[in-house]
Amino acid sequence: MFRTTLTRAALAASLILGAHGAASAQGTLRIGMTASDIPLTTGQTDNGGEGMRFMGYTVYDALINWDLTSADKPSVVIPGLATEWGIAPGDETKTKWLFKIRPGVKFHDGSDFTAESVVWNLDKLMKTDAPQYDQRQSAQGKSRIPAVASYRVVDPMTLEIVTKAPDATLPYQLAWIMMSSPAQWEKLGKSWEAFAKTPSGTGPWKLTAFAPRERAEMAPNKEYWDKTRVPKLDKLVLMPLPEPNARVAALRAGQVDWIEAPAPDAVESLKGAGFQIVTNAYPHNWTWHLSRVEGSPWNDIRVRKAANLAIDREGMKELLSGMMIPAQGWLPPGHQWFGQPTFKVTYDPEAAKKLLAEAGYGPDKPIKTRILISPSGSGQMLPLPMNEFIQQSLAEVGIQVDYEVVEWNQMINIWRAGAKDPSSRGATAINYSYFIQDPFSGFIRQTQCNLSAPSGVNWGYYCDPETDKLFDQVRTTFDPVAQTEILKKVHEKFVNDALFLFVTHDVAPRAMSTKVKGFVQAQNWFQDFGTITMEP
Amino acid sequence: MLLYILKRILYVAPVALGVSVVCFMLVHLAPGDPLTAIMPVDATAEQQAEMRVIYGFDRPLPVQFGLWFGKVVTGDLGKSIATGRPVLDEVARAVKNSLILACAATLIGFALGSFFGFVAGYFRNSPLDRLASAISVLGVSVPHYWLGMVMVIIFSAQLNWLPPTGAGPGGSADWRPDLEHLRYIILPAITMSVIPMGIIARTVRALVADILGQEFVQALRAKGLGEWGVFKHVVTNAAPTALAVMGLQLGYLLGGSILIETVFAWPGAGFLLNAAIFQRDLPLLQGTILVLAMFFVSLNLIVDVAQTALDPRIQRA
C-alpha cells in the first residue's frame, strides 16, 4: 500500500516537473515586454514606443514607415501605405501636400485600403463628432500630428493634407499614425471594443488571439504588400512582464525567448549563461535639461561647457556594464544629423576648472545648485547611481549639486509645467531622457521659443532667434537632402552652445535565447520581427 | 442571536463608508496627474484639460466622490483608465487568483508549521526543538521577496524544474486546477507559506508545551493511555487556537502579497495593485483597494458571528 502511494506520488511529481519540456515550439518567438499590459490593439497604440514597436508596426502600417532593414546606420523614413508624397505642384503656400496611395493593399479582413481609409482614420483621431472618433486612440495620436489642419480625398488613390503652416516635418509626424480598417469596424457593429478583440490593419502580422494582461498572439500576414517583409516565423507571442527580475527569470527558465531591457546588473550573468545580449545605438539620449530662466548658473556658456567637460563618461560606462554610448552631443555619434561641432564633448576636468575660473567660480566660490531627478521611469536608465556619479564628477571641478528626487509621473508633470512653475522648486536642471527620432521631437519641441509651458515642453525656457530661424528652415525645406544639411547645423549649434548636459545614449539592450536567429536591431525605436527565425 | 447578527451587519455600513472615503482620498492625495499614463508626454495644456473633463477630474473632489460612490453601491467600480476595461472584472479575476495562492500558501504553512510546532513542543530544549524553532524564526524574519528570487534562481534558472512567472502556460492569467497549472503555483505558494509556517510553528509549540504540562495529560498517562492517544488529546486541544491564528493569516496573505505576486508575476490582487500604482490608474487602484478592504471587513464580520455562535458569552460582552 505504502509502496503504491509512493509510486503514484513519484509519478505525479515527475509529470509536474517533466511537463516543462514540452513548452517551446519551433517557429514561435515569445517576447517578454516591459509593459504591464498588452498595448492598445485598435490601431493607435498606448504604452509609448514599446506599444508602437509591438502592436503598432506589427499589425498596422502608417502612410510613411521607418526603414528597419539596417543595423549599421540610423533609420530614415520610407514609403509605407503612401508610395510618394510632396507639396502639390504650384502651391505657393507650401502647405498643401499630396500623397499617392499604394495600390493593391488590403486590410486583414480583405477590404481595400484607399485614400478614403486615411480620411476615416484621421477622423477617428481628430473629429470629435465623427462616429468612429475614439477618445483612447485620439489621446495617443492627435498630438503626434500637430501640423495637420485639414485633409480630403482627391481620388481613391490620392490624398490631400493641408498643414497649418509650411512644415516639412509632416512625414515624420505621419509615421506615428496607424491605419485601422473601416470595414472591420463597420462589420463589428461600429464598436472599438469589439474591434480591439479582432483588429484589422494592413501590417505584416495578424493578431490571432489576445487576453488582457496575459498574452497576444500574432500570425504572419502572408498577403502582406511588401513581400520582403512577410514574417518567417509561425507565431509571435507577446507577454507583459513589467518586473525586470521576473523577465530575466522567465528568460532563464525558457518561458520566453526574448526579453526587452534586462537590468544592466543582470547582463553579465545572462551572457555567462549563454544568452545573446543585443544592443545598438538608437535615437534616445539621457541628459540634464538646463534651465535658462533668470538666475540659473547655466545661462553662462562657460559653466555649461565646464559641466560637459567634467563628466567621466567612460567611468559611467563601466558602472553600467557597458550598456551605454558616451555622449558626444545631443545625437549619438555617427548620426546623419550629427554634423561637425567645434566643441568636443570629452572628459577634461582641468579645462572645466579653467572655464569655471573664467566665469568667476573656484574652490572658494563653488556653484551651488539644485537638480530634479527621478528614482526610475521610462527610458531613465538607472537614474540614481548615474546621477550620484555625475554629482561626484561635478563636485571635483567646483559645481555642488543637490538633488530633489520626485516620482516619475510627477516629474512628467513638472516637465510639462516648465522651470518657472513653482512645482520645479527653483531647480536649475531636470534629468530627462529624450526620444530624438525626428526633427520635431528631437530638437524643436525642447528649444523653440514659443514652445515653453503651457504651449509645449521647452522646460528650460531657452530662446534664441538664431535657433528658431534654423527651425523655420527645417520646416520650409522640403528636399530631404537639403533638410539634412540644416539639421546638421541645428545639431552643431546644440553642441557648440552646450545647450544641455550631454551624458549618455541608451543602447536598447535585449536579451535572447541562442535559438533566435536573423534579428537585425535597427537604430530605431521600432523593429522588424519579420526577419527572425527560431532554431529548433 | 439573529438580532445580534443584524446589528453587527448594520455596524458594517459606517465602516464600509469610512473605508470608501479613505480609499478615494488616499489615491487622490498621491502626487502626479492621474491621466499622465494615457496622455502622450508632450500633450498640450489644451489636450490635458480636454482629457480631465472627459474623465471628470475637473470637478471638485466631493462631487467626484459622490459620483464614484453612487456607482460603487450599484456594483459599478468604473473603467480602468489604462485599459478601458471594467474594474470589477479585473479585480474579481485578480482576487480569485490571490485567494487561490493564499489558500495554497495557508495549507502548506499550516501543515509545515504544525509539524515543526509539534516537534518543537514535544521535544522541548532538544536539538530538534532548536532546529524547528530556528526554522520558524527564519520563516517570519526572512525578506520574502528575496526568498522568492532565491527560489527562482535555484528551481527555475539553475535546475529548470519549475516556471518562475505567471499562473499558467504562455503567461495565462487564470489559474486552473490541472497538472500543468499546478507547476506554476508551487514556487509562489511555498515562498508565501513561510510567514504562516513560522507563526503557526511558534503558536503550536507554545500550545503543545502548555498542554503537555497540564494535569489532565498526566492523568491520561497515569490511566495508562498510550502516547498516540495522548497525542490525539493534545491535537484536539491545540487545534482551535491554531485554526484561529491560521484564519487571520489567510486575510493577511490576501492583502499583503504585493511583493511576492510581483516577483512571480502572479496575476493576483497584489500584482494588479502594483500595475495600478505604476500606471496611476485611479479607478483600478480605488477599486482594488476597496474590494480588498471590504474583504477584510466581511472576514471580520464572519469571524465575529462565528465566534458568537460558538461562545454566546462573546455576544453578551
pLDDT-wise least confident of A91-95, A210-214, A300-304, A462-466:
A210-214
Chain A interface includes B41 (CB < 8 A) = yes
Query: Mind spelling out the 3-state secondary structure of A359-386?
Result: CCCECCECEEEEEEECCCCCCCCCHHHH
Identity of the residue in B39, B41, B262 whose CB atom sits nearest the CB atom of A243:
B262
The model's confidence at residue A10, banded by pLDDT at 50, 70 and 90, is very low
- Chain B contacts of A453, Cβ < 8 Å? 45
Measure the CA–CA gap between B184 and B187, rounded to whole angstroms: 7
Q: Which residue, among A43, A72, A146, A141, has the nearest Cα to A439 in the 3D structure?
A: A146
Judged against a pLDDT cut of 60, whether residue A41 lies above it is answered with: yes
- Which residues of chain B lie closer than 8 angstroms to A406, CB-CB? 31
Q: Which pLDDT score, from 0 to 100, does residue A443 have?
A: 95
For chain A, report the end-to-end CA distance as a whole number of angstroms. Answer: 43
CA–CA dist A421, A116 (Å, integer) = 44
A158 neighbors A63 (Cβ within 8 angstroms): no
Which residue from A16, A441, A456 is facing B183, i.e. has the nearest CB? A16
Residue-level pLDDT at B41: 66
Name the burial class of residue B131, with classes exposed (0-12), middle (13-18) and buried (19+) by CB atoms within 10 angstroms of its CB.
middle
Residue-wise pLDDT tens digits, B120-159: 888 888 888 888 888 888 888 888 888 988 998 889 888 8
- Each as own residue / partner, the long-range contacts of residues A46-52 (CB below 8 Å, 24 or more positions apart, any chain) are A46/A136, A46/A139, A46/A140, A46/B38, A46/B82, A48/A378, A48/B41, A49/A435, A49/A525, A49/A526, A50/A260, A52/A176, A52/A178, A52/A525, A52/A526
- B40–A213 CB contact, under 8 Å: no
Average pLDDT, integer, range A248-277? 90
- What is the separation of C-alpha A86 from the centre of its chain, rounded to a whole number of angstroms? 26
Residue A223 confidence (pLDDT) above 70 = yes
Across the interface, whether the CB atoms of A412 and B82 are under 8 A apart is answered: no
Tell me whether residues A135 and B54 touch, CB distance under 8 A: yes
Lowest mean pLDDT among A11-20, A511-520, B123-132: A11-20
Higher pLDDT among residues B45 and A435, named by residue = A435
Selection from A447-456, A473-482, B13-22, B203-212 with the highest mean pLDDT: A473-482
Edge-to-edge order in the sheet of strand A96-101: A82-87, A96-101, A158-163, A148-155
Is the separation of the CB atoms in B208 and B254 below 8 Å?
no
pLDDT for the residue A8: 53
Q: Are strands A533-534 and A516-517 parallel, antiparallel or unpaired?
A: antiparallel
B83 has a chain A CB within 8 A of its CB: yes
Q: What is the mean pLDDT of residues B73-102?
A: 86
Nearest to A139 among B38, B183, B279 (CB): B38
Note if the bond before A454 is cis, omega within 30 degrees. yes
Q: Using 50, 70 and 90 to split pLDDT, how confident is the model at A232?
A: very high
List B residues 192-221 in contact with A (Cβ-Cβ < 8 A).
none
pLDDT 10s digits, B15-64: 888 888 888 887 777 666 677 666 766 677 777 787 788 778 888 888 88
ipTM score assigned to the predicted complex: 0.72
Distance CA B210, CA B49 (A): 67
Query: How sure is the predictor about A139, in pLDDT bands with cuts at 50, 70 and 90?
Result: confident
Q: Is the pLDDT of residue B296 over 50?
A: yes
Q: Which residue of B has its CA nearest to A209?
A: B170
Q: Is the pLDDT of residue A2 over 60?
A: no
State pTM to two decimals.
0.82
Q: What is the pLDDT of residue A279?
A: 93
Which residue bears the cell 463589428?
Answer: A188
Task: Compare A300 and B128 and report the one with higher pLDDT.
Answer: A300
Q: Indicate if the pLDDT at residue A110 is higher than 90.
A: yes
CA distances to A63, A85, A117, A229 from A155, rounded to whole Å, are: 16, 15, 12, 28
B317, pLDDT greater than 60: no
Residues of B in contact with A455 (CB under 8 A): 44-45
Q: Which three cell numbers stand for residue B41?
A: 508626454
Angle CA A164–A170–A172, to nearest 5: 150
User: d(Cα A60, Cα A137) in Å, to the nearest integer?
Assistant: 14
The verdict on B86 touching A (C-beta cutoff 8 Å) is no
State residue B32's pLDDT score.
Answer: 65
| Chain A nearest C-alpha distance from B20 (Å) | 25
pLDDT higher at A69 or B137: A69
Question: pLDDT over 70 for what percent of chain B?
Answer: 92
Whether residues A15 and B164 touch (CB distance < 8 A) is answered with: no
8 Å CB contact of A142 and B41: no
- pLDDT at residue A248 tops 60: yes
A144–B40 CB contact, under 8 Å: yes
Number of Cβ pairs < 8 A linking chain A and chain B: 154
B182·A17 Cβ contact <8 A = no
Chosen from B35, B44, B158, B176 to mutate, greatest number of chain A CBs within 10 A: B44
pLDDT of B255-277, one tens digit each? 667 888 888 888 898 888 888 88
Yes or no, beta carbons of A245 and B264 under 8 Å apart = no
| Three-state DSSP state, A400 | strand
**d(Cα B57, Cα B79) in Å, to the nearest integer?**
14
B165 touches chain A (CB under 8 A): yes
Kindly list the residues from chain B whose CB atom is less than 8 angstroms away from the CB atom of residue A376: none
Give yes or no for B88 touching A (CB within 8 A).
Answer: no
Split at pLDDT 50, 70, 90, the class of A15 is very low
Whether residue A253 and residue B164 make contact (CB cut-off 8 A), yes or no, is: yes
Percent residues over pLDDT 70 in chain A: 95
Of B45, B164, B280, the CB nearest to A250: B164
For A377-388, write each residue's pLDDT tens digit: 778 888 999 999
Residue B98: which residues within 8 A CB-CB, separation 6 or more? B254, B257, B261, B266, B268, B269, B270
Model pLDDT, residue B310 = 66
Flag if A237 and B44 touch (Cβ within 8 Å).
no
d(CA B251, CA B300) in angstroms, rounded, equals 10
Per CB-CB distance under 8 Å, the chain A contacts of B82 are 37, 46
Residues 6+ apart with CB under 8 A from B270: B98, B255, B256, B257, B258, B259, B260, B261, B262
Residue B283 touches partner A, C-beta closer than 8 Å: no
- Under the banding of pLDDT at 50, 70 and 90, the label for residue A311 is very high
Choose between A449 and B271: higher pLDDT: A449
Question: Chain centroid to CA A94: how far?
Answer: 29
The mean pLDDT of chain A is 91
At B40 the pLDDT is 66
For residues B186 and B212, which has the higher predicted lDDT (pLDDT)? B186
Report the residue from A143, A410, A456 with minimal CB separation from B31: A410
Which value, to the nearest 10 degrees, does the dihedral of the CA atoms of residues B282, B285, B290, B292 take?
A: 180
Please, what is the average pLDDT of chain B? 82
A158: enclosing H helix or E strand: strand A158-163
> What are the pLDDT digits (tens) for A372-423?
999 877 788 889 999 999 999 999 999 999 999 987 778 888 888 899 999 9
Taking the CA of residue B117 and the nearest CA in chain A, the distance in Å comes to 26
A101 bridge partner residues: A82
Contact in structure between A398 and A366 (CB atoms under 8 Å) = yes
CA distance A107 to A102: 12
Distance in angstroms (rounded) separating the CA atoms of residues A311 and A390: 6
CB A356 within 8 A of CB A367: yes
Residue B293 confidence class, pLDDT cut points 50, 70, 90: confident
Q: Which of B42, B173, B183 shows the shortest C-beta gap to A457?
A: B42
Residue A4: pLDDT band with limits 50, 70, 90: very low
Contact B148, B188 (CB under 8 A): yes
pLDDT at B8: 80
Better-scored residue on pLDDT, B79 or A367? A367
pLDDT average, residue stretch A503-519: 95
Q: Give the other-Cβ count within 10 Å of A414's Cβ.
A: 25
